[in-house]
Amino acid sequence: MTSSDEEVVQSTLDTNLSYRVSILHSLLGKLTTRIYASCGLTSHQWKVLSILYNWPPMPAVRITSLVTLDKAAISRGVSGLLRLKLARRYLDNASGMIFIEITDAGRASYRAMAIEMGNLQRELLANVQSARQKLFFETVRELEHRLRAATGATPLDTVRGRSGKMHGSRTSPPMKTTARKAKARMAGS
């Protein structure tokens, strides 16, 4: 066994990235749940609402590349947001696809919850120097970039520029539907 192998074997949970991120996610989730649940949202609805707030309208299938939910969970999230009138569906005539868009009520709800989330984050990082906070978020972004590349996930920068606008050269993944079928679905909802 080489010395690097021994170091891996002797690694503790304190230095296991997957474990540490999982624990932080779980603990933070317990606190953030209180915020969106107080507004009557589920975690799936909160995640989808976050995507809709931060990106332009898109087909529901595109959301799968932006959030860690499967298609069924995204569908439930979208359905709940539609029922609560925090999002709306419409047929994009140019592409023949059904797009999901946040409503004004959805924007207002998201902003109110985002303020609470921001306050929570400031409380958690209150004793961490701003330079260390900046380094932390730069490191997280770099890790996400590398993990997206390693797993074949869509790089965020190709989906959205720094301005928050979709790049014109990127198109939504094709959906297996015709404009006629899409219109029929819209009429039925």
Q: What is the pLDDT of residue 179?
A: 41
Count the neighbouring beta carbons within 10 Å of the beta carbon of residue 148: 16
* Separation between Cα atoms, residue 185 and residue 177, nearest integer Å: 10
How many CB atoms are located within 10 Å of the residue 52 CB? 26
Q: Which residue has the higher pLDDT, 42 or 152?
A: 42
Phi, psi of 142 (to 5 degrees): -65, -40
- Report DSSP state, residue 89: E
Answer yes or no: is 11 within a domain.
no
Q: Residue 9: what pLDDT?
A: 58
Q: Is residue 156 part of a domain?
A: no
**Is 32 domain-assigned?**
yes
99 within a domain of the structure (yes/no): yes
Residue 89, domain extent: 28-150+166-188
Has residue 9 been placed in a domain? no
Residue 175 sits in a domain of what CATH number? 1.10.10.10
In a domain, 79, yes or no: yes
User: pTM for this structure?
Assistant: 0.71
Spatial distance between the Cα atoms of 45 and 106, rounded to a whole number of angstroms: 11
Residue, of 188 and 6, whose pLDDT is higher:
6
The type of residue at 151 is T
**What does the block give as tokens for 169?**
């050269």
